[in-house]
Amino acid sequence: MTNKLLKKTSTDHFELLYDMLLDAIPSSVLMVDDKLHVVSVNRNFLLKSQRSKADTVGRALSDVFPPVILENTGIEDRIRNVFRNRQPINGQKMTYRAPGVPIRIYYYSILPIPTNQIMLLMEDVTEQVRLSEEVRRVERHLASVVESASDIVLSTDIDGRILTWNSAAEKLSGLSSQEVHGRHFYEFCDLNQQQTVRMIFMRMKASNESHTTEFHLLAPNNGGSILISWVFSPMKDDYGVTVGTVIVGRDLAERRKLELQLRQSHKLSALGVMAGGIAHEIRNPLAVCSAAAQFLLQDDIGAEFHRECSNKIQTNIQKASAIIENLLRFARSSLDTEMVEVDLMAVLRETTELIANQAKVQKVQIVLPSHQEPILVPGVSGLLQQVFMNIFLNAINAMPDGGLLKIVTDTFEDRVIVSISDTGVGIPAGELDKIFDPFHTSSPVGQGTGLGLSICYSIIQQHLGSIQAESRHGEGATIIVTLPLQ
């Protein structure tokens, strides 16, 4: 009797330990006998299937699993095969849905064990599959965004070797991704900029900072090179370590074309404002010439008066010619934007001459720098004149009741600073940061495009300078233009 009790106690203890071990397994586990009845099951399976232990243990496998699973997986036949040949089956996929529970995805294995039973081990991979699908969806979305972009988008490793090259890059350069993959990015840059590009990659290794620049991308299959605006950004891994570079490039050809069109449009607008003043300025010398010519037609004038009339005609013709020359210089399309040596003082003087009559009509006094020594800067004379013309006209329009337009120049080290101040209505504090934005204007509808100062900003940037505004509402404004000296 004692031996039987000890034996029963030992068996109960083993079964309890056995159940505890099964419950400790994080996967779903069923033990099945050769009649395909469930011998034991762990807690994980009962939770996932929402079944009780009493309703599962001792039941046929066909009573535990829905018929649709048995039909689609052939799991019963596979278990019988394992019983026969004692060879395990690993990594089979099963989709399982208990009543009232969302679909779960499992990978299952059928393992023979020495007790003439089969262990059915099911690993729930629903979340992993969902996350994997989400990752693939995001990857497809990102790839679609990059491929659909009209800008060049490419990536390189930490040393600048090209890893990806999108469709826009292929179209602009004429080079396929296969042709450029693994090659250094600088190989496809303008020869004069290759060393600069190498330095950018070296600095990014050390500082992890983005870099913005402009240089030509070689396009051998498209017959030359293309001016591109580039942004270099560090590409980091999950630990924040820079492992490569993302480079975005925008073709500047259309932008330059649009800027030129806007400049020409604004020139015409400015010419319209000056038309009245220019007509008056030319009419005056023509009137003098006409009067002098009438005197010359008379037969009874003396030699001295004849010479005086001739001199007046010559002087006023030269004056009219100078006005027309300045006007043509301003109006002429600046197709050739090659930087040359420009006398900034001459540009300022010629521009003030063009708006002198407009200022006179509006009772605005113009004060130029007292010194007349040349200030030489690298630039395009017509573009610089357009900048100052826009600024001067804005200042005059800001003084409807008259005032003072003062121009001051000062050189500092390698730069010249031109300050243009007026005594007009000033710029409201909330508008000061927006005046260089395209299409921002304080003029009434139909009286301004809002492009003048935006174009000025673009031109000064092209001349490697800067432009900024200072003002207090009701106390006038000052525009400060800074340019590098020659």
Pairing of strands 477-484, 415-422: antiparallel
Domain ranges of the chain: 22-128, 143-251, 256-484
Average pLDDT, the chain: 80
Per-residue pLDDT for 432 more than 90?
Answer: no
Whether the Cβ atoms of residue 264 and residue 383 lie closer than 8 Å to each other? no
* Residues ≥6 apart with Cβ < 8 Å to 313: 288, 289, 292, 293
How far apart are the two ends of the chain, measured CA to CA in Å?
A: 115
Whether the Cβ atoms of residue 474 and residue 412 lie closer than 8 Å to each other? no
pLDDT given for residue 279 in this prediction: 66
CATH topology of domain 22-128: Beta-Lactamase (3.30.450)
Please tell me the distance from the alpha carbon of residue 426 to that of residue 472, in angstroms, as a whole number. Answer: 6
pLDDT given for residue 343 in this prediction: 92
In this structure, the dihedral spanned by the alpha carbons of residues 53, 57, 62 and 66, taken in order and rounded to 10 degrees, is: 10
pLDDT in tens, 397-429: 888 888 999 999 998 888 999 999 999 888 877
CATH superfamily, domain 256-484, is Histidine kinase-like ATPase, C-terminal domain (3.30.565.10)
Whether the domain at 22-128 and the domain at 143-251 fall into the same CATH topology: yes
pLDDT given for residue 437 in this prediction: 61
**Class of residue 138 by CB neighbours under 10 A (exposed 0-12, middle 13-18, buried 19+):** exposed
pLDDT in tens, 445-466: 333 333 467 778 878 888 888 8
Apex 135 CA angle, 132 and 138, nearest 5: 150
Please tell me the distance from the alpha carbon of residue 414 to that of residue 395, in angstroms, as a whole number. Answer: 28
Least confident segment among 145-149, 186-190, 191-195, 280-284: 280-284
Whether the Cβ atoms of residue 390 and residue 452 lie closer than 8 Å to each other? yes
CATH number for the domain formed by residue range(s) 143-251: 3.30.450.20
100 phi/psi in degrees, rounded to 5: 75, 5
